[in-house]
Structure 1
Amino acid sequence: MTPAIKALERAKVNFSVLSYEHDARSAAYGEEAAEQLGLDAESVFKTLLANLDGHRLVVAIVPVSAKLDLKALARAAGARKASMADPADAERATGYIVGGISPLGQKKRLATFIDDSCQRLSQMHVSGGRRGLEICLAPEDLVVLTRATVAPLLR
């Protein structure tokens, strides 16, 4: 039971948990999840952490089949500049390890931004809080639970 699953249970939203055997040699965590679980890569989202203006961490959630546009993230957040966060900072802020960072149940609540492609889906998949664990839920539930801003974030 991960903090992400506990958060969903507390919120009483509908969700399901999917698991697969993570290959320790793989660093393409989201793509691996989509492939191993037979999911459309556009419905599997990765949780990325970025640094705004060099001092504020935020969460960006985008499909694993796409690339985060850091300029679009900065625009959506009202910042001048965004850069990818140091992995150690991401792990420290969220309480999860890279490849298993869930947008739910993080140690510290961070401003969250979700790519607007989620609005075309009835269900989306995000990390369940460890490598090899995915959560399936409605995009609108994720938006509410993370207090996210939905915006175009892709290159």
Structure 2
Amino acid sequence: MSQPGRSPLSTVFLLHIALEAPLAVQGIWFPTSLPFLQLNNTTIVVLKMYATLVLSVCIIALLCFPLPEFLPGKRALAIGLCVYHSIISTVLFQAPRFIPYSFGPFFEAYKVTPEIVWGCFHGFLGLGFVAWWQSTVAFTQMMKRAE
């Protein structure tokens, strides 16, 4: 059961962590073991910097998850994550193949690749943050009226 002023849709913050944390941890400590093509010294450094940023945002999401829905900081993070996941989804949909794995010939025939699936996960998270935002507008309006 959720607490007053809390939406069960806040789990979208935890879903963000579940999607991003594995890449962040592996990208910081074992970047060359990531299944990406053509990693060189420059891309490894940029990947480590990106992974550090992603890990930081995961920590922020974890800290914001239990906060009430009407707080401006939580809402700002949510809109930022919505924009992030929406753009990353588009980038992954348009990316050339850079993950050297396949789901098999059947899925390849329908253009279902790891990049597309990863992009779908980001797209669903972007929609999840929009749903959270819209479902919590009433909490925010109640708090404004209470002031």
Compute the TM-score of the two structures, normalised by the length of structure 2.
Answer: 0.23
Structure with the higher fraction of residues in helix conformation: 2
Structure with the higher fraction of residues in strand conformation: 1
